[in-house]
Structure 1
Amino acid sequence: MPDDLVTTVQFDNRYQRELPGTYARVTPTPMKNPRWVAWNEPLARELNWPNPPDDDVLAAFSGHGQLEGTDPIAQKYAGHQFGTFNPDLGDGRGLLLGEWVDGQGQHWDFHLKGAGKTPFSRFGDGRAVLRSSIRELLASEALHGLGIPTTRALALVGSDEPVMRERLENGAMLLRVAKTHIRFGHFEWFAFSGQTDKLEQLLAFCLTHLFPDCKNTPDPAAALFDAVVTRTAHLIAHWMSTGFCHGVMNTDNMSIIGDTFDYGPYAFLDALQPGFICNHTDTGGRYAYNRQPDIAFWNLQCLAQALAGIADQGALRDSLSRFAEHYNARFLELMGARLGVLNVSEEDQSLIRDWMQLATDEAVDFHRPLRELAEMETSDWARLDDDYSDRSRFRRFRQALAERREQEPDTQTLALASNPVSILRTHHAQAVIDACEQGDDSLLHSYLAALQSPFEVRPEWQRWRAPPPASYHAHPLSCSS
């Protein structure tokens, strides 16, 4: 495969140009015998990407070639990992190739994961494996399909290069796309290492390119932080309302623009278990499903500390004090929509709490019952009574919900648009991974398409509606997931 330039004309390198001394230039390490596993054509169209997934593009996305106009770098940052500050972080297996500029002038980071060792790899090999790359592709497209802010994946390249994790696996590279890869940890690194000039340069970069509405305010740093608090609160409300558990909410995994970022041992809930833990290294349950709002707030406190030297501290505290208000309002709005309630009142909050408590006590699936309520006329809901051990309790709930939905028009339309048919399930993802590791990518393509259109009903996607069998037990996953 030729090690040459792939001709394009629409890349920029603002991060490299405007933030010198905050990264290391690194050339991707070629991966042996690369092959296409997946190409995200819907995303390619959104990006106005002109090149088909041919051999030249395969070369560029597997380390054998370079896209003209790119300037690969590994970014330096820090972060709080499981509550402990670690200054020795940075891109250890991924490289920011450059910023693709689409037809509307929007810049998109092209970030190649699994691109080899960098100065920040520490003891890692700089590689990614097919298993974890498939999981990130599926998860990022699943959340995007649900309307949840997230990074995305344009391409997945497999290989027969051996990579050791818990076992010997095949290596892979994933081309991740995001509006930015700047994390809370970037601010922490410059603040806590005393690099005030770099901190101010980073702030100026974010104000110019990511938060222009905050730039011409009396205290731009405080205004930016206020926007980050709001976006983060809304993001976590989306996670909680869809049963998504991230698993590793370290500050270096928190996007400054409120995107879901760095997929590792994530999981969507099957049964509603508030204390669900998806990361087997999280023995204390720090990142359990029901702790995600608290951890987001804690992480925002860390960001506020990093900004304390360049922003009014009283304004930072005021913004933090509004986190719960932002979170609760969005969570109630999203859960109300899942129940078919558009304008959530105080009385509706009790209805939402009743459902969450009933679902928890009954250990019912987080997704399927709500979809059934959406698909059926309220007059038919009595057919669901036998799905609950406490039939009278469910009967009281469904009767109260039916009465509430009579007060607004088009409630069934709202519920259908808020409860997915296809959801990302761990057992389905594992079936896809098993098939791909045997060289069969067809299941991946089918599941990916279903997750990209999660509210659409198609006969060929019927298998993706199924919850796990009763005998299935989802074990916590490792960070290498």
Structure 2
Amino acid sequence: MATDPQPTPFRPSTAIDEVADFLADPVPAADFPRHILRFRNDRAAAQVGLDDLGDEGWTDHFGRFLPLPGSLPSPLALRYHGHQFRVYNPDIGDGRGFLFAQMHDSRDRLMDLGTKGSGRTPYSRFGDGRLTLKGGLREILATEMLEALGVETSRTFSLVETGEALQRGDEPSPTRSSVLVRLSHSHIRIGSFQRLATLGLTDEMTRLAAYCLRHLFGEEPGAAPELRLLEHVVAGAARLTASYMAAGFVHGVLNTDNINVTAESFDYGPWRFTPYWELGFTAAYFDHQGLYAFGRQAHAIHWNVVQLAIAFSKIHDPEVLAPILDSFPATYEAAIVGAMLGRLGIARTDEVSDLALVQAIEEALGAGTVTIDRFFFDWAGGRRRGASPADPAYDAPAFAALATMLETRSPSGAGDHAYWSDANPCSMHIEEVEAIWGSIDREDDWSPLHAKVAAIRRMGDALARLRG
């Protein structure tokens, strides 16, 4: 993933108009009492031609939601259904967000600016349509860390504090409110197709699949766009899951309405980074069965992709869909090898020995004696870099065997970044998230957040060089 700005002209789009008649509803944005700009992602803005906006113009567009010239004249709340913890729910959709604008980025991809906390919509049900400031902060930290670790993710584009006092049951209330804008490569979900299948709108399903191929994958749709789209989703979902594992990340709510057809990770609620390679580690306190635990994410995401195929079975025979789905395990296996060796910064050799090396890494980390971040930091480039607090653990047989396997490996990139001389790796565990929020909540001190974002991006630059 690019770490440096790639300035580009602003190139607005209204591509969503092709499918908006059955996919979305025009909605107004909430009228907030205050607009305090707390975070603007100029690096991301440079890639879509919006970095030259002053703070007042920024707040006008991403706090008051004045339309961007040439893009959507009105926000659109997207319609979708979804399986939520395996229970089908037809009563969801954009309940506190909307699609605000579309444009092309410096890689000529169609991008969406979507919101979180922008007010009530027809799909809000009993919700207030708002986002807590802490929720916005957590999304900044999740997206920045994942981007640095090489995960394809939405990027937090903007966070504006809105001056309302919100009542919540899962944190001390009243709490502060915010509105967040995310930059994403589409907001079309598996649940978008599930809704159309449930309603029997098969022609619309074909139109939406064609839209996705044309605008999100740069392909002209053929006679069966659903099949080609399923191929993309299966491959992308497998790669996404593998990148979660290499990052030590647990999304927490892998429902079908949270799986984007571009396989770009987005919508961060109860996420966590697991300190140790603990397969049963969960992020959501309400995930009592461990459905979306760290080690079950591949199964969960594969299950979600199967639901997309079930939606497409309204049009195609299951016998045609099954071979596409069956490619997931092999694609995932290849992807996790690439993701793990990429984070370690060593070159690939052959399929068998690469897989054996990844299995040895998982076995060594599975002992729970060294954190994931510490291991990848200490062994960057495949060689021990010097003294470490984890040295006693590295004397264990599993790590000794791993060290022997690494002796014949070559680095894949440059490991000369100053980051590798730090005493400790940059990490993002729950204690640090709470400490950053505590500074904001108690003293309105945002400096720990800005310092952390700078540290994460510095690590991301080092990792990009290491990957080569």
Q: Which TM-score band applies after superposition, normalised by the shorter structure?
A: 0.7 to 0.9
Distance 1:392 1:9, change over 3 A: closer
1:193 maps to a residue whose letter is: L
**Shift, 1:290, TM fit:** 0.4
CA contact (8 A) 2:10 2:103 kept: no
Relative to structure 1, the CA distance from residue 105 to residue 368 in structure 2 (aligned partners, 3 Å threshold; closer, same or farther) is closer
Q: Report the Cα offset of residue 421 of structure 1.
A: 4.0
Q: What is the CA distance between 1:325 and its match in structure 2? A: 0.3
**Judging changes above 3 Å, is the alpha-carbon distance between structure 1 residues 377 and 181 closer, same or farther for their aligned structure 2 residues?**
closer
- Sequence identity of aligned pairs in percent? 30
Query: 2:182 aligns to what SS in structure 1?
Result: strand
Residue 42 of structure 1 pairs with residue 46 of structure 2 = no
- Structure 1: tracts of 5 or more residues without a match: 1-7, 458-481
Give deviations 1:288-335, integer Å, cap 9, x for gaps. 010000111110110001011223432311011110000001101222
Distance in 2 between residues matched to 1:38 and 1:267, nearest whole Å: 21
Aligned to 2:432: 428
Give the Cα separation in 2 of the matches to 1:334 and 1:386: 27
Which residue of 2 is the match for residue 170 of structure 1? 176
**Kept in 1: contact 2:188–2:260 (CA 8 A):** yes
- The DSSP-based 3-state class of the residue aligned with 2:92 is strand
Residue 226 of structure 1 deviates from its aligned partner by 0.8
Q: CA deviation at 1:113?
A: 1.4
Sort the Cα spacing of 1:305 and 1:443 in 2 relative to 1 into closer, same or farther, 3 A.
Answer: same
Structure 2 letter corresponding to 1:302: Q
Counterpart in the other structure of 1:15: 16
Paired amino acid for 1:288: A
Distance 1:253 1:415, change over 3 A: farther
Corresponding residue number in structure 1 for 2:6: none
How far apart, in 1, do the equivalents of 2:138 and 2:245 lie? 20
**Closer/same/farther in 2, CA of residues 379 and 369 from structure 1, 3 Å limit:** closer
Relative to structure 1, is the Cα distance of residues 25 and 323 closer, same or farther in structure 2, using a 3 angstrom cutoff? same
Contact 1:249 1:295 in 2 (8 A): yes
**Structure 1 counterpart SS, 2:129:** coil
Q: Give 2:219's match in structure 1, choosing from 213, 217, 234.
A: 213
Looking at structure 2, the residues matched to 285 and 42 of structure 1 have their Cα atoms a distance apart, in angstroms, of 36
Partner of 1:93, secondary structure, is coil
Change (3 A) 1:294 1:62: same
- 1:325 corresponds, among 310, 324, 330, to 330
Residue of structure 2 equivalent to 1:334: 339
Q: Does 1:272 align with 2:277?
A: yes
Q: Residue 89 of structure 2: SS of its match in structure 1?
A: strand
- In structure 1, what is the equivalent of residue 5 of structure 2? none
Distance 1:442 1:220, change over 3 A: same
Instruction: Report what 1:314 is aligned to.
Output: 319
- 1:143-201 CA distance string (max 9 Å, x none): 12222111112111113311111232100011111121000000000001112232222
Between stretches 355-364 and 122-131, larger displacement belongs to 355-364
Contact persistence 2:210–2:225 (CA under 8 A) = no
Deviations 1:113-151 (A, max 9, x none): 111100100110000011111111221122122221111
Higher deviation after alignment, 38-47 or 100-109: 100-109
- DSSP-derived class of the 2:34 partner: coil
CA distance in 2, matches of 1:186, 1:316: 18
Match of 2:375 in 1: 369
Change (3 A) 1:412 1:180: closer
Deviation of 1:202 (Å): 1.3
C-alpha distance 11-212 of structure 1, shift in aligned 2 (>3 A)? closer
Does structure 1 residue 391 correspond to structure 2 residue 391? no
Separation of aligned partners in 2, 1:33 and 1:133: 16
CA distance in 2, matches of 1:110, 1:386: 48
Could you report, residue by residue, the CA deviation over 1:209-235 in whole angstroms, capped at 9, with x for unpaired residues? 12343613x532111101110011011
- The answer on 1:302 being equivalent to 2:307 is yes
Matched, 1:73 2:76: yes
Question: Can you list the C-alpha shifts for 1:233-257, whole angstroms capped at 9, x where unaligned?
Answer: 0110111111111100000000001
Alignment correspondent of 1:198: 204
Q: 1:354 to 1:415 in 2, by over 3 A?
A: farther
Q: Which residue identity does 2:449 align to in structure 1? A: L
Quote the Cα distance in structure 2 between the aligned partners of 1:342 and 1:105: 30
Question: Could you tell me the TM-score, scaled by structure 1's length?
Answer: 0.85
Q: Which 10-residue stretch deviates more, 38-47 or 105-114?
A: 105-114
* 1:445 counterpart = 2:446: no
- Please give the alpha-carbon distance, in whole angstroms, between the structure 2 residues aligned to 1:115 and 1:254: 21
Say if 2:146 and 2:247, in contact at 8 Å, map to a contact too: no
- The 3-state SS of whatever aligns with 1:108 is strand
Q: What secondary structure does 1:160 align onto?
A: strand
Runs of 4+ in 1 over 6 A off after TM superposition: 414-420
Question: Which residue matches 1:468?
Answer: none
SS in 1 for 2:180: strand
Q: 1:376 to 1:253 in 2, by over 3 A?
A: closer
Find the counterpart in structure 1 of residue 134 from structure 2. 131
Q: Report the AA paired with residue 154 of structure 2.
A: T
With over 3 angstroms needed to count, the CA separation of the structure-2 counterparts of 1:210 and 1:392, relative to structure 1, is closer
User: CA offset at residue 433 of structure 1?
Assistant: 1.6
What displacement does 1:449 show?
A: 2.0
Q: How does 1:451-466 map to 2 (within 5 A)?
A: 451-456=456-461
Give unpaired runs (5+ residues) of structure 2.
1-8, 463-468
Deviates more, 1:365-374 or 1:120-129: 365-374
What corresponds to 1:28 in structure 2? 29
Q: Is the 8 A contact 2:382 2:406 kept in 1?
A: no
Report the Cα distance in structure 1 between the residues aligned to 2:39 and 2:179, rounded to whole angstroms: 11
Task: Output aligned runs, 1:59-208, within 5 Å.
Answer: 59-63=60-64, 65-68=66-69, 69-70=71-72, 71-102=74-105, 106-166=109-169, 167-208=173-214
Q: Which amino acid aligns with 1:305?
A: I
Letter in 2 for 1:24: D
